Structure 1
Amino acid sequence: MMPPAPSPDIVYQDTPHDPHLYNADLAPTTPAQRTWTTYNYIALWFSMSMEVTTYMLASSLIAGGMNWKQAIFTILLGNLIVLIPMLLNAHAGTKYGIPFPVFVRASFGTRGANLPAMLRALVACGWFGIQSWLGGQAIAAMLAVLWPATAHMPAVLWASFLGFWLLNMFVVWRGVESIRFLQSFSAPFMLIMSLTLLFWMLHKAGGFGPMLSAPSQFKTTSSFLHFFFPSLTAMVGYWATLSLNIPDFTRYAKNQDAQIVGQVFGLPVAMTLYSFIGIACTSASVTIFGEPIWSPITLLGKFHQPFAAMLALVALLVATLNVNIGANVVSPSNDFSNLAPRLISFRTGGLITGFLGLAMMPWKLMATFGSYIFGWLIGYSGLLGPVAGIMVADYFFIRGTRLDVVSLYHRDGPYEYTRGINPRAIVALAIGVIVALIGLVIPALRFLYDYAWFVGFFIAAATYYVLMLQYTSTPQTTSNHLSSV
């Protein structure tokens, strides 16, 4: 019979631990640190949703040929789907107060956890670079409003990009609590500013009728579905990163209800609301300018009212800073720290994230809406979907939500497996990734790539579950492994 799960109120910092697996940033949160309420999680999702890449995610569907109703449906469905693994993986963070790189040790092993953590971290580095590039574009656009001659100076854009990158690094140095402070106050501000932009475009277009009049470009159901399913995968892939490392945030929740209610309301409502703004403004750009403009920065550059453009660009900068720190720094900083807890702190991990973000050349990832949707989003969803499937299968179906938290910070315990690596998780991950991405090299199997996140999630989860059932059913592992979970 399994023992009861450890109480989350235990102060694990007072328990002996392996210094190779532990530091203050990776330690379980104490009751005093669990201060996040439902409002904080709603604010988290509103602040992370209301930013440039969400707008461009929605506007790319219009640029790709959808009408506004088709685009809204695709976005809402995708976010309701990704909410499921989001809530499932959030549970352990709240129950045990552990971050993602520690949680994933249960399935991949104390050393093997570095593999999924690094996959997640590298994707976050790419996003960090993208957000920094967009923030730099916004600053350059603001300068062009004040001094039009700078619009034709590439050096201004690159200086703006590097300046915004340095601003992000400064906020990282201030620590995680500065994120909660920034998000709590910026979410209402961003909502007001986004609605202001929407109504300004509404006025320019001459009403909602002309604003949303752009018809679907798909003449047949088959042509629509050919674009719809990859787009749905991209919608899920957009938050595939957070669906893994959501414990990094829910470990600060007062209780499960606070994070569940906050996320169930915050994620779909915030994404649908802000996506509608992007969809409506892009659709209106067809009426006003004769072409769909998927980048809000480019759109604002066409306005001739300096004050309105400046105000909107400031709003974009605040939102971009929020989401870059909250979504793209917290997780990889913890992940890099997990590699060498004694040497890499949260701050050092944040600096590593920033430099890798530069190295991934974000200006190429955001060159067109096609490279954004069908290259970047779907591509990395095939890497992260399998990790999510393994985590869910392990925590809920193998362990029944029971973890030995103290052993997560020790070698030679139930999560040691084979020299700290669970080969069954590695095999399941490899199979999931290969099947999800094989369509990139075999045209006849392209449909697997179009569903990359879904294919990877379910293939990896099923493979892991079967392999772990065989592992835990052997006499030498039953008493050593399951008795501790």
Structure 2
Amino acid sequence: MAAESVDVDPQVSATHRPVSDRLYNADLAPPQQRRWKTYSIFALWMNDVHNIGNYTFAAGLFAIGLGALPSFFALLLGILVVFWGMNLMGYMGQKTGVPFPVMSRISFGVHGAQIPALIRAVIAIAWYGIQTYLASLAVVVLALRISPALLPLTQDSILGLSTLGWICFLSLWAVQLFILSFGMEVVRKFQDWAGPIVWLVMLGLAIWMLVLVGDRITWTPPNALSGPAMWWEMLGAAGLTISTYGTLMLNFCDFSRFAPNRKSIVRGNFWGLPVNFTAFAMVSIVVTAGSLALFGDVITDPAKIIAKVPNTFVLVVGALLFAFATIGVNIVANFVSPAYDLANLAPKYINFRRGGIISAVAAVAVLPWNLYNSPAAVNYFLGGLGALLGPLFGVIIVDYWLIRRARINVPDLYTTDPAGEYAYRHGVNPRALAAFLPAAAISMVLALAPTFSTVSAFSWFIGAIIAGAIYLVIADRKRQFTDVSGAHLSQATIASGIH
């Protein structure tokens, strides 16, 4: 079909340009319905926060010598920075209606955006596989507790995983793929009730612990830090909190684009991050402190605490819900994003559903248990790639808010016309790369080099500031920026055709 102009806002009649099927499909276009209101955003964060990783992180602060109160203030400081960043990215998604790989075209160009999208996709696919594997370990323990006769299935090895391990891993893998195959609206409905269930389990575990230990609980660990050492660990904890949510600060527009207004984003973020995150962290610390009083040791793994519960029914419910929590965070943090990123590679052939299937298959193909069991792979490969997310965030945020001042020509995000606003130089913005690359190199060195271990927790933050500062200096301020909504882009392209 011949290329035709898309019928968009009349204020840009002079800039009507054909939409390219190399850049456009319905899943990458602004949504026609926006149903992610305050509770859905709040539930999104409940699903992301309520997981074993965050529990272990908060419990680990108690284990290294931070008492309950210093831990609280450290985590609150970090999550307030995250709250600020999520709002900035959330507003961007809500206004434009586009997912992250399309949002990246604003700064990096319609073709240059493949760079941040692929970086994010590789990280997310690897962690999707690892998180699924970790959840499957709890299911293996549960299966053996229920049926000890399954023990022989754990004594062989197929590509590094036992037969029972494969069964449990693929079962959880299939459940997640099933949920994603129905699209983002089913994801919203799943997370709306999944997050609160995990909260009930954590509160139940904390109450059980408090009833058992009574006034024997102590809020100060035996190796309590004080003075400069305590303050440095607090700053480090705040920095690691920011780094932990670095991926989602890029991902969040994948979800906020479905929000009807800014109020939904701010309210959902407020209850889901500063309130919910710190509350969950403190419950984790309560349980950890209780484990010290009850068992004489600081246990930072909730699965090990549940395993000590003498009631088999409680063990079964607890283990299943911790596995359920991992599914929730995996879908939010590690599945939705690569589905969009892969769709961005070839929109004509890959939609959101196909991108999700490819991501899921790739997550198995990397044999994530081997990745997880190799500290070098996790620290240098995934840690190094994770350090790149800060500089990406810095460039995108500075470009959108400080350079363009939120003036975005959404239809031009889908055109390969050389006159398009985001064509730059053959579809790539060299200024964005010039800001990103040196900041990325510095961020990776800080994150990985043992010499800089004392500041490694701040690598994401430092990389974001450096990249943003460089881009602020070198960005082209002579360009005239157009502000055009893409609210009717999907119907228009369907009606008029794309080339």
TM-score, normalised relative to structure 1: 0.87
Separation in 2, partners of 1:232, 1:184: 28
Separation in 2, partners of 1:15, 1:151: 64
The farther-off stretch of 347-356 and 390-399 is 347-356
Separation in 2, partners of 1:363, 1:210: 39
Amino acid at match of 2:244: Y
Given that 1:109 and 1:416 are in contact with CA atoms closer than 8 Å, whether structure 2 keeps it comes out as: yes
User: Is 2:457 aligned against 1:458?
Assistant: no
> 3-state DSSP class of the match of 1:329?
helix
Amino acid at match of 1:17: V
Amino acid at match of 1:104: S
Count of residues paired in the alignment: 462
User: Is 2:189 aligned against 1:181?
Assistant: yes
Aligned to 1:430: 437
Given that 1:94 and 1:256 are in contact with CA atoms closer than 8 Å, whether structure 2 keeps it comes out as: yes
> 3-state DSSP class of the match of 2:347?
coil
Shift of 1:263: 0.9
Given that 2:384 and 2:448 are in contact with CA atoms closer than 8 Å, whether structure 1 keeps it comes out as: no
**Cα distance change, pair 463–270 in 1 and its aligned pair in 2 (3 A):** same
TM-score, normalised relative to structure 2: 0.85
Aligned to 1:396: 401
Match among 382, 391, 398 for residue 386 of structure 1: 391
Aligned to 1:449: 456
Shift of 1:352: 2.6
Aligned to 1:19: 21
Shift of 1:313: 1.5
**Cα distance change, pair 280–187 in 1 and its aligned pair in 2 (3 A):** same
**Cα distance change, pair 249–85 in 1 and its aligned pair in 2 (3 A):** same
Given that 1:435 and 1:448 are in contact with CA atoms closer than 8 Å, whether structure 2 keeps it comes out as: no
Aligned to 2:117: 117
**Cα distance change, pair 20–161 in 1 and its aligned pair in 2 (3 A):** same
Amino acid at match of 1:106: I
Amino acid at match of 1:356: A
Separation in 2, partners of 1:88, 1:201: 39
Shift of 1:365: 6.5
**Cα distance change, pair 298–358 in 1 and its aligned pair in 2 (3 A):** farther
Separation in 2, partners of 1:125, 1:191: 27
User: Is 2:311 aligned against 1:305?
Assistant: yes
CA-atom RMSD in angstroms: 2.8
> 3-state DSSP class of the match of 2:427?
coil
Aligned to 2:238: 232
Taking every aligned residue pair, what percent have the same amino acid on both sides?
34
Match among 319, 323, 335 for residue 325 of structure 2: 319
Separation in 2, partners of 1:237, 1:226: 16
> 3-state DSSP class of the match of 1:472?
coil
The farther-off stretch of 182-191 and 36-45 is 182-191
Aligned to 1:247: 253
Aligned to 2:179: 171
Aligned to 2:263: 257
Amino acid at match of 1:95: K
Amino acid at match of 1:426: L
Separation in 2, partners of 1:68, 1:382: 29
Separation in 1, partners of 2:59, 2:44: 22
Amino acid at match of 1:449: S
Q: Which runs of 5+ in 2 are unaligned?
A: 1-7, 156-161, 485-499
Given that 1:68 and 1:212 are in contact with CA atoms closer than 8 Å, whether structure 2 keeps it comes out as: no
Given that 2:123 and 2:386 are in contact with CA atoms closer than 8 Å, whether structure 1 keeps it comes out as: no
Amino acid at match of 1:287: A
Separation in 2, partners of 1:432, 1:91: 25
Separation in 2, partners of 1:146, 1:212: 35
**Cα distance change, pair 201–46 in 1 and its aligned pair in 2 (3 A):** same
Amino acid at match of 2:481: L
Residues 332-481 of structure 1: matches in 2 within 5 Å? 332-359=338-365, 362-363=368-369, 379-411=384-416, 412=418, 413-439=420-446, 443-468=450-475, 471-473=476-478, 478=479, 481=480
Given that 2:384 and 2:447 are in contact with CA atoms closer than 8 Å, whether structure 1 keeps it comes out as: no
Separation in 2, partners of 1:271, 1:371: 30
Shift of 1:180: 1.0
Amino acid at match of 1:355: V
Separation in 1, partners of 2:35, 2:334: 22
Separation in 1, partners of 2:305, 2:373: 16
Separation in 2, partners of 1:151, 1:267: 41
